[in-house]
Structure 1
């Protein structure tokens, strides 16, 4: 048995399998990846919370423009630091087995920067800034035009923001969404 196998009882593995979209083998692989972020710390306490700057060293997060927000959304403490269970939840949602509706729900939460359950103009501006990067900064007029275009297409109730239902409707038209919202194990 490997060291990650002995980190969990059979019951813990079964519980994690029940609560995620992952197999026992994938759960053990996720623990191995979590441990690799800070081997000395995790080997002493598998329930440790790794600070956000440590979690951000995960290669898939390093290149993601929403990396900080992803950590905040999956952090049970809300500070971006992740316990193994937080990390497991994140990897489960980003897995190929997670259903589209779960992925859409988490995408909405990631894009909802102010956590008010609506995607406002400010949230949309932050999304566009993250997607375009600091090199491609839009001037204020172009940014407002882009946000207005998004809202004119997606804001069905004309309240100047997107509800989850409106966001879900837009995502349903994006065939590549599921493929872009994943981390391979």
Structure 2
């Protein structure tokens, strides 16, 4: 096959293929996108642990066209960054693209959608999480009364155990009835 030089070792590429929904070619294409975001910060050789050490700050990641117009850009970066800061190493970046890929199954997408909407990280979607979600979705175009009304209706409809918040199971139940979820929860590479 020749001796083509790549940014990753064969072991790294095999590991990435094993834990993502991507081919080797797609992984290298995503790395190219990662490097283009911050060429001075990202080395061409990502072997010897550099894939985890080299981080791109959120302020540069938010410029990615697929994230720039997304109202959940900041939350997405926080959820996928290992430390929750929004800054990402290549492994975080690849995980994000993998979850948003068309090949990722519904249950994986649902887990991450729940994490993105769970602003306080308590594993429940309470009134405040749902208010924050609505503000993001509508880009703050609703009044506080409209937001309160919608949140109450969501809780009324989806809260099966009457604890005034949504658990992951309740959220998953709502998503299972949403045929558009898979079409909207993806990023093409």
After TM superposition, is the score higher than 0.5?
A: yes
Structure 2 match to 1:101: 107
The answer to whether structure 1 residue 84 and structure 2 residue 87 are counterparts is no
> How many matched pairs?
181
Distance 1:22 1:80 in 2: 23
Structure 2 match to 1:174: 178
> In 2, are the aligned partners of 1:94 and 1:183 still within 8 Å (CA)?
yes
Structure 2 match to 1:117: 123
Distance 1:156 1:150 in 2: 11
The answer to whether structure 1 residue 165 and structure 2 residue 160 are counterparts is no
Deviation, 1:163, is: 0.2
Structure 1 match to 2:12: 12
The answer to whether structure 1 residue 25 and structure 2 residue 25 are counterparts is yes
Distance 2:5 2:86 in 1: 27
Distance 2:9 2:45 in 1: 15
Q: Which has the higher helix share?
A: 1
> In 2, are the aligned partners of 1:5 and 1:28 still within 8 Å (CA)?
no
Deviation, 1:146, is: 0.8
What TM-score, normalized by structure 2, do the two folds share? 0.92
Deviation, 1:137, is: 2.8
Deviation, 1:54, is: 0.9
> In 1, are the aligned partners of 2:37 and 2:64 still within 8 Å (CA)?
yes
Distance 2:103 2:183 in 1: 11
Cα RMSD of the aligned pairs, angstroms, is 1.5
What TM-score, normalized by structure 1, do the two folds share? 0.94
2:156 to 152, 157, 168: 152
Matched position secondary structure for 1:6? coil
Structure 1 residues without counterparts, runs of 5 or longer: none
Which portions of structure 1, spanning 4 or more consecutive aligned residues, are displaced by more than 2 angstroms?
Answer: 43-47
> In 1, are the aligned partners of 2:16 and 2:27 still within 8 Å (CA)?
yes
Structure 2 match to 1:60: 66
Matched position secondary structure for 1:40? coil
Deviation, 1:43, is: 2.4
Change (3 A) 1:83 1:34: same
Structure 2 residues without counterparts, runs of 5 or longer: none
